[in-house]
Structure 1
Amino acid sequence: MSSQKLQTKILNEEFVQLDLSKYQSKVSAIHHHLETTKDEPTGWLNAPLEDNSELVKRIIEIANEIKLNADVLVVVGIGGSYLGAKAIQEALTPYFGTHPNGIEVIYAGQNLSGAYINQLLRSLTNKRVYVNVISKSGSTMEPALAFRVLRQYMEERYGDEAVQRIIVTTDPEKGLLNHMAEKHNYRTFDIPQNIGGRYSVLTPVGLLPIAVAGIDIKELLNGAKQAAIELKEDSLEKNEAYRYATIRHELYNQGYKVEMLASFEPGLASFHEWWKQLFGESEGKDKKGILPVTSNFSTDLHSIGQFIQEGSPILFETLLHFEGISEDYIVPYDVRNEDLLNYLNDRSFNEINCISKKGTAKAHADGGVPVIQLELQQLDEYYFGYLIYFFMKACAMSAYLMEVNPFDQPGVEAYKKEIKELLSIDNINLDDTVSINI
């Protein structure tokens, strides 16, 4: 076992009977391909190792401007354009209220609900507003419609000042949103062309909203950098991301077609959604792939726990475990003891939560469910940056082990096409939009 900052453990290996050594040569070949390919969008692999100080400085400057002049930032995006930012924001800010170093960050463009957009606009009354629209092309329907509404709202409310209050994150050279930004002189951040949406959270796509929310993006990137350094090896003994990917693949070959990611901290619910898109969109091709599902424990133990313990043997479980949580609360003594809980007097909620975690993992493992546990020291920016990079690298390896491309999403393009045809939208070359009257 390696000494890396994230440890991968399988809690019932004697039951699962894993033999990972047979995959080493294939893992090495895939590793070499990832490190050398020029044909795939793998810019995220070495991005944490590059000097990004000027970009980070500019992001922080604009984030500080927004925090000074606004009460709320509305982030417009869908999929990888918002899931990562929302995941980090919710994991690292208070459950109630905003981060002491940030302002409110809310999201639009991730659905087509008229009620949602209506209520969002009403919520902005008496609040100072900035908008950050995020899309590589600008043509994805959900965020494009939301931005149409919000751009009109900002222009009607702020007039010429709206240009200063709209920040565009998009492709640096092409697409509807790129041309719109150029025409109207919006300030822009680039989405790197060699990084796909679900791998983009550590670029301006995620970093600007995260910084506005009050998160320390320098520490986030430091954690990702440490992961990029530690996960450079091709050895399954030394690379925890590849070890996790290979365990998943072996379980898949043994008939476990569903992976349930679970954690015992409710702030990680949106992180689960980011993970679900990362693996679902990367692996689910050619009638292959592990179905990614998620649970928030202990809440979901009272709804899905029975199925996990004794239901169809189709799933394995991956538990996220953080040794340190920043806040805690001691169970008080109650002289009445009507709830019969005085035996927990002087124990903390986190201590009880940790015991619940251990008991749940043991029960599921004893019940025959393969249980992987991913262990990190702290739930903070540094370790979260590490965890994000870990999952991205593990996902690329896992998809290639299944012999599918981790970086495309043909099924997504298929349903987009069907929706447009049903709405009678003419076919438009979205990479050649200069002549379109915006």
Structure 2
Amino acid sequence: MSKKGICSMNIELTSPIARDEDLFSEDFLREKLSEFKKIIADPAIGFFDLPQTQKYAKACEEVYEKYKGAKNFIHVGIGGSSLGPEMLITALGKSDTRFEFINNIDPERIADQLKGLDPNDSIFYFVSKSGGTAEMTAAMALIINWLEDKGLNQEEWSKKFIFATDPKKSILLDLATELKITTLEIPSDIGGRFSVLTPVGLFPALFADIDIYQLLDGASKSRENCLSEDVLNNELLNTCSFLYDLKNFDITQTVFMPYSSKLRDFCFWFTQLWAESLGKRLDNDGEEVFTGLTPIPGYGATDQHSQMQLFMEGPLDKCLLLLEVEKFSCDFSLNSNLDYPSFNKLSSHTLADLMKAELYGTIKALKENGRPHIHFKIIENNAEAMGELIIFFESLTALMGHYLNVNPFDQPGVELGKVYAYEKLAKGF
């Protein structure tokens, strides 16, 4: 099945498994579109409407004007407070700004990240919706100590801090008021893993010379596509039905594999989005279901030489999501003076030709081996395409939650671990 949307993203769905045609009928898809509209109309769920406002982009620009001379941008957050911004910077960043993402509590790694940083040329962006995340709090404590060891007192280091947090109730909000620290808003109706198009991602994107309005434009176009009344050609609805149909055949693992090194971090953003949203013990009726679709990150062509053997000939429990960038921003000729068969095969081609050949070779082999896969295409890796991808996969996650009858906007399994972590700290080691 091939579907062409109104945006630059095209999708081809391929499965050798006999499908349930009812899942792809016009009546069923129209019902699912109606359900999706109900999901995004919920006042507690705001991610889908972010492309329709420039409020947060303009707020980020105002703060950026005050700090744009900084040479080092230290982003402190965990999970959704970091994965989205990291994905944007890796995929689209063009500036000379040094970015450090303090996204874990490994003391050795943080020591490496702070090494060589001049605090006078640095700003520190602390991101937490609640403001009380243990990992973010710990990182702030050690950064304050580090800055004071460098001779900066509270008045000086507080001017280098920017907070992104909930605008109504947050520990960071209280601290910002006390210390007169600039804050940006994480809307109350948007969860962390859906927050990349808020100041969580938009503010660091400015320091990387990313056009945040182009990002929002792409997201807006994708939004229109997701709401298309042409349900038989609606990519969101068909992709959801495709993956749900496969799950009925115990194909429950989702391999996300862009053929682009710059999009590798997109896999890790998707992994959190998919895993934390869909992996649930209880369904919406309170019944134990232990359901979900397990994400596996990869990227081409590198993982053709590592994981692909398993994907191609291992258990038939995986669907591959292959993402192609049709046009790279640069290329290299493979013409060479070396007269050897392996060099001669490549001499009339470019590096981009080889990447495309590797991808299409994989697709052909997957078909021959009876392996279900989805082939996504974007014209090029730019801010507009990234906006399209973000809204599409956030919407896919939200709608898949409906298909599975689970709440894709909570994470009770994560919360329990936090309770036990604090319990252990209180008891000691």
> In structure 2, what residue type is equivalent to 1:113?
D
Matched, 1:103 2:105: no
Which residue number in structure 1 is paired with residue 285 of structure 2?
none
State TM-score, norm by structure 2: 0.91
Distance 2:252 2:350 in 1: 37
Map 1:322-337; keep pairs closer than 5 Å.
322-334=325-337, 336-337=338-339
Which residue number in structure 2 is paired with residue 133 of structure 1?
126
Which residue number in structure 1 is paired with residue 311 of structure 2?
308
Which residue number in structure 2 is paired with residue 116 of structure 1?
109
C-alpha deviation, 1:37, in angstroms: 2.5
Distance 1:383 1:233 in 2: 18
C-alpha deviation, 1:234, in angstroms: 5.4
Q: Is the 8 A contact 1:66 1:212 kept in 2?
A: no
Which residue number in structure 1 is paired with residue 38 of structure 2?
33
Which residue number in structure 1 is paired with residue 373 of structure 2?
371
C-alpha deviation, 1:235, in angstroms: 5.0
Q: Is the 8 A contact 1:16 1:370 kept in 2?
A: no
Q: Deviations over 1:340-370 (max 9, x none)?
A: 3123113110111001100011102211110
Unaligned runs of 5+ in 2: 282-289
Map 1:2-81; keep pairs closer than 5 Å.
2-5=4-7, 6-11=9-14, 13-17=15-19, 19=21, 20-22=23-25, 23-24=28-29, 26-38=31-43, 41-50=44-53, 52=54, 54-68=55-69, 70-81=70-81
Map 1:192-211; keep pairs closer than 5 Å.
192-211=187-206
Q: Is the 8 A contact 1:67 1:103 kept in 2?
A: no
Give the ranges of 4+ consecutive aligned residues of structure 1 lying more than 4 Å apart after TM superposition: none
Tell me the SS of whatever aligns to 2:232: coil
C-alpha deviation, 1:18, in angstroms: 5.3
C-alpha deviation, 1:268, in angstroms: 1.2
Which residue number in structure 2 is paired with residue 228 of structure 1?
223
Map 1:153-172; keep pairs closer than 5 Å.
153-157=146-150, 158-159=152-153, 160-172=155-167
C-alpha deviation, 1:392, in angstroms: 0.5
Identity percentage of aligned residues:
28
Which residue number in structure 1 is paired with residue 213 of structure 2?
218
Which residue number in structure 1 is paired with residue 139 of structure 2?
146
Change (3 A) 1:330 1:64: farther
Distance 1:385 1:32 in 2: 20
Change (3 A) 1:406 1:373: same
Matched, 1:87 2:80: no
C-alpha deviation, 1:118, in angstroms: 1.6
Which residue number in structure 1 is paired with residue 249 of structure 2?
254
Tell me the SS of whatever aligns to 1:369: coil
Map 1:287-366; keep pairs closer than 5 Å.
287-334=290-337, 336-338=338-340, 340-366=342-368
Distance 2:342 2:51 in 1: 52
Tell me the SS of whatever aligns to 2:190: coil
Change (3 A) 1:125 1:187: closer
Q: Is the 8 A contact 2:40 2:46 kept in 1?
A: no
> In structure 2, what residue type is equivalent to 1:66?
Y
Which residue number in structure 1 is paired with residue 175 of structure 2?
180
Q: Is the 8 A contact 2:6 2:221 kept in 1?
A: no
Distance 1:425 1:189 in 2: 36
Change (3 A) 1:229 1:26: closer
Change (3 A) 1:365 1:56: same
Which residue number in structure 1 is paired with residue 284 of structure 2?
none
> In structure 2, what residue type is equivalent to 1:31?
F
Distance 2:6 2:117 in 1: 45
Tell me the SS of whatever aligns to 1:46: helix
Q: Is the 8 A contact 1:31 1:234 kept in 2?
A: no
Tell me the SS of whatever aligns to 2:376: strand
Distance 2:75 2:399 in 1: 31
State TM-score, norm by structure 1: 0.89
Q: Deviations over 1:100-119 (max 9, x none)?
A: 4x5111111x2221101222
Tell me the SS of whatever aligns to 1:373: strand
> In structure 2, what residue type is equivalent to 1:82?
S
CA RMSD in angstroms, aligned pairs only: 2.0
Distance 1:169 1:32 in 2: 29
